[in-house]
């Protein structure tokens, strides 16, 4: 699927996007990976590129505060609704760019971001290094000493072994250069029916993967995800 098509989804189709995300990581490996790096209990947490609130909802019940940011109001509309329904009151949701957060200096202990920071490289092919460096400077500004950044980024949907994706060929080495530690996990999707698997995979990932789902009768769609983390 093209960048333009994905951007349109983020801007216009929060409900269907959330329907897909609700099927992801049915084994709970994202939470396990986070807990192995740093437990969020009692911490002030920022979720940047929060989308519909996948990571925010995982962490809000345990953190002291949860502030979620994204550039797409449609994603945040769903995120706010989900956080409101949780009954929690320790959260705030606002539109903001990764490189200019409405956050005081050294006011967070943990920054998390899922499948989002890489877009700074993908959507800025000529200036990708500068954009990522601006983001890294912003992380150093908002985090307290010894604070952590934890990123989740794709290593391939529809494959059972990690695969470094061609469109992220600049991003992966840059993370290594910055000193991020790394591990890979599985974040497989579990669908209720083959029809749902086809429809939702076609909606976001495109025809090629949806056809593969149909061909293989995949109620469980394999996905590999990288986890990168850094103490700032």
Give the integer Cα–Cα distance in Å for 198 and 219. 9
Q: In the chain, pLDDT over 90 holds for what percent of residues?
A: 97
Residue 127's contacts (CB-CB under 8 Å, 6 or more residues apart) are none
pLDDT over 80 at 99, yes or no: yes
Query: Domain 3-231 has what CATH class?
Result: alpha beta
Q: Average pLDDT, whole number, for the chain?
A: 97
At 32, which helix (H) or strand (E)?
helix 29-37
* Helix orientation angle between 3-12 and 73-86, rounded to the nearest 10 degrees: 40
Look at the pTM and tell me if it is higher than 0.85.
Answer: yes
The residue ranges of every structural domain in the chain are: 3-231
pLDDT over 70 at 147, yes or no: yes
pLDDT confidence of residue 1: 67
3-state secondary structure of 92: strand
CA of 28: how far to CAs of 6, 35, 143, in Å? Answer: 25, 11, 27
Q: Are 180 and 228 spatial neighbours (Cβ–Cβ below 8 Å)?
A: yes
Mind listing the pLDDT tens digit for each residue in 18-72? 999 999 999 999 999 999 999 999 999 999 999 999 999 999 999 999 999 999 9
Give the integer Cα–Cα distance in Å for 98 and 111. 11
């Amino acid at each position: 699927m093209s960048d333009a098509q994905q951007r349109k989804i983020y801007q216009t189709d929060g409900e269907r996007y959330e329907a897909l995300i609700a099927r992801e990581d049915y084994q709970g490996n994202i939470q396990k990976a986070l807990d192995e790096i740093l437990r969020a209990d009692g911490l002030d947490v920022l979720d940047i590129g929060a989308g519909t609130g996948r990571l925010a909802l995982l962490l809000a019940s345990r953190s002291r505060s949860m502030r979620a940011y994204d550039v797409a109001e449609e994603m945040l509309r769903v995120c706010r609704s989900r956080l409101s329904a949780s009954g929690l009151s320790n959260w705030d949701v606002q539109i903001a760019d990764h490189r200019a957060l409405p956050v005081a200096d050294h006011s967070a202990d943990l920054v998390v971001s899922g499948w989002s920071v890489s877009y700074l490289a993908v959507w800025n092919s000529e200036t990708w290094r500068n954009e990522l460096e601006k983001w890294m400077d912003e992380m150093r500004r908002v985090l307290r000493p010894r604070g952590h950044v934890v990123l989740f980024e794709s290593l391939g949907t529809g494959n059972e072994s990690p695969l470094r994706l061609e469109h992220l060929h600049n991003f992966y080495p840059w993370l290594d250069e910055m000193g991020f530690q790394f591990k890979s996990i599985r974040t497989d999707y579990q669908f209720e029916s083959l029809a749902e698997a086809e429809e939702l995979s076609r909606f976001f990932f495109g025809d090629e993967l949806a056809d593969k789902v149909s061909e293989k009768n995949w109620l469980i769609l394999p996905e590999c995800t990288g986890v990168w983390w850094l103490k700032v």
